[in-house]
Structure 1
């Protein structure tokens, strides 16, 4: 049996065993499944232990071994893997044999999703997590599909791409997602261990369009440009101090938030014209400088050097340094005690040395502008919304481009349409005929809300794709005006256009198809 044939044989075994997200949830139930997502495996183990004797237990054996990280009887695991066999998965580095017992050395679990290209399911291998290891993780730990991975996958703009770069691929999950809409994908990582897992995951799922390269940041792709760059960089701000673990999956080896600045800088020269870059990141709040202002400063510096970028930066959360410190020390598997205290001192000393009071987390979308196109710059704190935001991001970029190509007079001649997910809310004082408060609510995207006055509410309500903005404003001016106090249509139009442009940008109003 050749090594190249093993991933396909293992995939056959996993599929035949019903080793799927739905299959495992059916085995141990919804509550145990939810507990697993919280890092608690006991309910799932108890459910597997309670399966009736003689039941077809192939999926249960695989789940016990590769999800729960528990030792398996060699003969039982052999029955669960008739094509690959225990010897095969040992050759792949997923287990080690200890007499008649097989010890898992990696996590291997199903992962399902739906994107613009339809529903799919993969199997993803990575290092065993904290629950299975039973203590702090190794510094070369390769993370599986975590919360940040899911966030970035949901943000990914699913547009057709000739060539996509996944910078810092880890287990390869973003490269796999990118392969759904890219002719070719290049995936890089500084960790050879991560690349071994990523290659296995591509082979296991039958994806042959990904090329893997070893190296730091953009070094492996020097001189190349891409239509799309995605990156979940190791953005966690970690002290550069002796005795502080430097986990490869989250620590970029630079001081403070410099790794995020470096990725943005690299994107500015490695994106093809019109190419889009997307990343997750942290940024520091220092004395006299907010986090979003720091990101804006990095982009302004690139523009001053002749590498301007469109940019939309969404900050989702800001943590004080005390909470940030606790979060990431716990993430590495260290619990309260002397080691926790020692690490906390190092982290807080590091923040104090730079005058950092808090850390922001969010999403960065950049784009290399096409010649003559308007520049997009949005820096905002938005806590609402979630799910698959990729289509919304793509629509926002398109809405910006549509508006950038039109002055206010051309905008006024357009017939806009209210998006299908938009609702209007009105509040009345008891007995009053007219509302005291009116708001627009967006169901998708970032679930934004906007206050309305009477004129704006009327324009939005009449935007059905038939009448132009100018025609609607003229009719409303006539309705709201009076002989004693006439309302100029031109004045109303000039007052409302900036707000209407914002509503088009965020997807509440849609431009003509």
Structure 2
């Protein structure tokens, strides 16, 4: 196992810095073709590109990313001040773990995790600690980045989310059920000089019982796995060990009580869709009355597609038996589909005058992934304020309007507004809503615009108000337009 000796880790950090072992340097050494192939888990182009290179950065890349065996002389070149064997990084010239550079918002870090199947040519072990996967990258992009006093990373894995939180939160607690994951998280915090991360082993919220946080993030082991498959092939990093989608349900139900007032919880999630139910029925049933919630489904798979995806992820060769058991479990449970997306919640103020919790669900199968600012804005705008007609509105500068006409007709059959930035939404609107957006430069209130529209079109003010009140929440939630004058 990795050594947590701080002096030895500091020596490692010195060597990695001296080698200028950064993402940009590695990509320059390998070239664009090999870099692209590495993203597809194809190592041959990188082996060829680096086979004659003996710089410390090249040797580190060959050792840790390509799993090549280095000679003692090469190891001394790569590690002039630290002993990688004593740290638990290397044995007999071969890497025992994956270490790789990672660049994030001006930080050049190194992240340590278990070696992958492409490196070892062996199936992953159940206790495998994953590095920075695509799901993690998605959550990193979506995380609110304002300065906060405290944050919790639930199910931290290798600790990359906690490391990013440490750059804008004074105090970070990272928890994981896996002792091995906690060890990697502690090592990565020390390697990158993050002294404000407290890693604790335990299940879900047990290690932080009685505490509250301004921000909670979680990329939990959300894969819905039946016990029959779990008994044969269990992976800690993706299977939380609970029946069906109850791990997600537990986090959603318990999470708000660990938030400070106005605190935010953000998590990735999978959920089952039973029979003819709408996709949001099940996750909405888990919500607390103490927090507003935004449920977003970004993808929908049928049970067969879902099973196939995770069988490919596991690298299993003989999958027919697992496929049959997994699929039959879904069928017997009446599962018609599996929703994949994210959940964001914000705890309400603890005062008698606090607003009643609301939840909104959106299906976003196309468009851009929201960033942290978009998540914060959506939570802020889950519903229109009661005095919305007295507010001024301003359309976002990236929004464009598209009108569709049937040949020979003067009136459009459909009007859509599209975002060039933001979440890239494409939303159909009424002619009244389009007209309001067309003059929404922040000068007039919604009420003034509505009365002007009534005078121009001859339509009644209440009818126009109803149309706009129906459409405006979604437009504001996705930052197509902003309500000004917020107190």
TM-score scaled by length of structure 2 = 0.93
Q: Distance in 1 between matches of 2:243 and 2:469?
A: 44
Q: In the alignment, does 2:372 pair up with 1:386?
A: no
Q: Distance in 2 between matches of 1:374 and 1:442?
A: 31
What is the CA distance between 1:125 and its match in structure 2?
Answer: 0.4
Q: Distance in 1 between matches of 2:426 and 2:270?
A: 26
SS at match of 2:421: coil
What is the CA distance between 1:441 and its match in structure 2?
Answer: 0.5
How many equivalent pairs are there? 479
SS at match of 1:465: strand
**Matching residue within 254, 259, 276 for 1:266:** 254
Q: Tell me: CA distance 1:378–1:494, structure 2 relative to 1, closer, same or farther (3 Å).
A: closer
Q: Cα deviations across residues 176-224 of structure 1 (Å, max 9, x unaligned)? A: 1111221101111111111111111111111100001111111111111
CA contact under 8 A between 2:215 and 2:265: conserved in structure 1? yes
CA contact under 8 A between 1:3 and 1:91: conserved in structure 2? no
Q: In the alignment, does 2:11 pair up with 1:20?
A: no
Q: Tell me: CA distance 1:497–1:349, structure 2 relative to 1, closer, same or farther (3 Å).
A: closer
What is the CA distance between 1:387 and its match in structure 2?
Answer: 4.3
Q: Cα deviations across residues 35-57 of structure 1 (Å, max 9, x unaligned)? A: 11111111111111255xxxx62
Alignment of 1:300-311 (within 5 A): 302-303=288-289, 308-311=290-293
Q: In the alignment, does 2:299 pair up with 1:317?
A: yes
Corresponding residue number in structure 1 for 2:469: 497
CA contact under 8 A between 1:135 and 1:333: conserved in structure 2? no
Q: In the alignment, does 2:337 pair up with 1:352?
A: no
Q: Distance in 2 between matches of 1:206 and 1:373?
A: 42
Q: Cα deviations across residues 108-156 of structure 1 (Å, max 9, x unaligned)? A: 1111133xxxx32211000001101112100010000001110111111
Corresponding residue number in structure 1 for 2:397: 420
Q: Tell me: CA distance 1:289–1:459, structure 2 relative to 1, closer, same or farther (3 Å).
A: closer
Alignment of 1:219-234 (within 5 A): 219-234=206-221
Q: In the alignment, does 2:55 pair up with 1:57?
A: yes
What is the CA distance between 1:365 and its match in structure 2?
Answer: 0.7
What is the CA distance between 1:388 and its match in structure 2?
Answer: 5.2
Alignment of 1:284-295 (within 5 A): 284-295=272-283
Runs of 4+ in 1 over 4 A off after TM superposition: 428-436
Corresponding residue number in structure 2 for 1:461: 438
Q: Distance in 1 between matches of 2:460 and 2:341?
A: 43
Corresponding residue number in structure 1 for 2:46: 44
Q: In the alignment, does 2:269 pair up with 1:281?
A: yes
Corresponding residue number in structure 2 for 1:149: 136
Q: Tell me: CA distance 1:498–1:435, structure 2 relative to 1, closer, same or farther (3 Å).
A: closer
Corresponding residue number in structure 2 for 1:341: 320
CA contact under 8 A between 2:96 and 2:115: conserved in structure 1? yes
Corresponding residue number in structure 2 for 1:256: 244
Structure 1: runs of 5 or more not aligned: 482-486
Q: In the alignment, does 2:342 pair up with 1:363?
A: yes
Q: Distance in 2 between matches of 1:326 and 1:273?
A: 41
Q: CA RMSD for the aligned pairs?
A: 2.1
**Matching residue within 246, 249, 260 for 2:234:** 246
Q: Cα deviations across residues 288-307 of structure 1 (Å, max 9, x unaligned)? A: 434421111112xx44xxxx
Deviates more, 1:242-251 or 1:59-68: 242-251
Q: Tell me: CA distance 1:501–1:189, structure 2 relative to 1, closer, same or farther (3 Å).
A: closer
Corresponding residue number in structure 1 for 2:146: 159
Q: In the alignment, does 2:87 pair up with 1:92?
A: yes
